[in-house]
Amino acid sequence: MKKYLLVFVMLCVQQSFAQSKGEVTEIKDPLIDSLIARRIELNKQKATTTNPASNVIVSSMGYRVQVFYGADRREAFSEQNRFKTAYPRLRTYITYKEPNYYLRVGDFRTRIEAQNLMNELRPSFPTLFIFREKINAPILEEYK
């Protein structure tokens, strides 16, 4: 009798933990699919400030050289233009932290690279500093 009771209890326990197949129904607004498609389409278009088309692979810590700082916005942008005419391949970044504008240039992986640029810029730009910050690391070129 105890054996039958034990077998009966085991079958009941097994059935209570068994899972049955179910059905999942997805309910969503059709506008979601159109918004996703629109976002994908916009990302394939021309570069913007929120979607830059560049050859950066990852953001990481590195170094930049500060070329200018001051309270005058126009002067900061004129210094940026002056730097861009002399060094068109280097990226420039203007940030504003009250009350000053800061113009920093370059995306250098090592401090030595930043120091080399700083030495080159010393005659043209008198106040130069090196800062460690998050940079846009460029893709390394393959040498053949």
pTM: predicted TM-score of the whole model, two decimal places:
0.56
- Cα 120 from Cα 61, distance rounded (Å): 23
CB 83, CB 67: distance < 8 Å: yes
88-115 per-residue burial string, b: 16 or more CB within 10 A, e: under 16: eeebbbeeeeeeebbbbbbbbeeeeebe
Rounded to an integer, what distance in angstroms lies between the CA atom of residue 138 and that of residue 59? 9
| Structural domains for the chain | 61-136 (3.30.70.1070)
Q: What residues are paired with 105 via a beta bridge?
A: 65, 92
Sign of the four-CA dihedral 40, 46, 51, 52 = positive
DSSP output for 37-65: HHHHHHHTSS--SSS----EEEEEEEEEE
Element (H, E) at 116: helix 111-121
Of the chain, the percentage scoring pLDDT greater than 70 comes to 77
Whole-Å CA distances, 91 to 15, 84, 86: 67, 8, 12
**Tens digits of per-residue pLDDT, 83-122?**
999 888 888 999 998 899 999 998 888 899 999 999 998 8
Confidence of residue 144 (pLDDT cuts 50, 70, 90): very low
pLDDT value, residue 22: 78
| Calpha distance 85→80 (Å, rounded) | 9
